Chain A
């Protein structure tokens, strides 16, 4: 076994820039991975650098706000309508005042 290993020679040539690549891999492994906040910051910076994306983002939030306002106002006014309707009925029908 020892004899065989001593006689064994590697004849295949190394790939080009082998050493450089090895050092790069070591360097990457030693560098700490970026935090989520950094990733997000990077993503936002890249995304908002595109004017079309920034306009779409602002427009989407504006529309979302308008829709939510519309829905909530509708719910609120419907509740007030029911309360005022009951109040009118109670004001003219004494049998409903105790209910």
Chain B
């Protein structure tokens, strides 16, 4: 093979090998996380730099929380079904609807309280600074959607004026 062609090929090989090596090393941790049976918990471990003991406790809390959450969801779904039945009749019983709305609302509050307690428990398993960061982050993502609602109202209002 002629020397210039050989050098050209060596250059191209160096580029491909360099790319593949860095890409492989740079994504290794994430690929391992994705292979985990619970990748979202593996992500939590990485994001909040949890030790193995902390992580085990948090994973246990997570597994314990999910059935409670699922049970509340089932109860809310049942209330919603009953509410739909009340609304489907010709003469709607306003008082019964009101009571059902309140019951469903109470369950939602219970659900949010359960969520909040879980967040607190999880944050307590972390070192204080990381626990605070976790709590701030998760509350923003879950318990304070009203900010979003207010923003949507503002956007809607702005669109109405144009």
Contact = CB atoms under 8 A, between A and B. Distances in A.
Interface stretch (B10-18, B79-87, B98-106, B125-133): B10-18
A31 to B, nearest CB: 24
A60 B26 CA distance: 21
Closest 9 CB pairs of A and B: A73-B26, A69-B22, A65-B18, A84-B43, A65-B15, A88-B40, A65-B19, A62-B14, A69-B19
B73 interface: yes
B135 interface: no
A4 to B, nearest CB: 63
Interface residues of B, number: 46
A15 to B, nearest CB: 41
A35 to B, nearest CB: 17
Contacts of A49: 3
B73 A61 contact: no
Q: Chain A contact residues: over half helix, strand or loop, or mixed?
A: helix
Interface of A: 41, 44-45, 47-49, 54, 57-66, 68-70, 72-74, 76-77, 80-81, 84-85, 87-89, 91-96
Contacts of A59: 14
A49 B21 CA distance: 29
A44 B141 contact: no
B138 A89 contact: yes
Interface in B127-154: 138, 141-142, 145
A66 B65 CA distance: 44
Contact of A85 (B19, B21, B43): B43
A33 B72 CA distance: 84
Given A58-B7, A88-B44, 7 more contacts: A65-B14, A65-B15, A65-B16, A73-B25, A81-B43, A92-B115, A95-B142
B43 A88 contact: yes
B118 interface: yes
25 contacts: A45-B2, A45-B4, A48-B4, A57-B7, A57-B11, A58-B7, A58-B11, A59-B14, A61-B11, A62-B17, A65-B18, A66-B18, A66-B21, A72-B19, A74-B26, A77-B29, A80-B30, A81-B43, A81-B47, A87-B39, A87-B40, A88-B43, A91-B40, A92-B66, A93-B115
A73 B18 CA distance: 12
A65 B10 CA distance: 13
Contacts of B25: 73
A6 B30 CA distance: 97
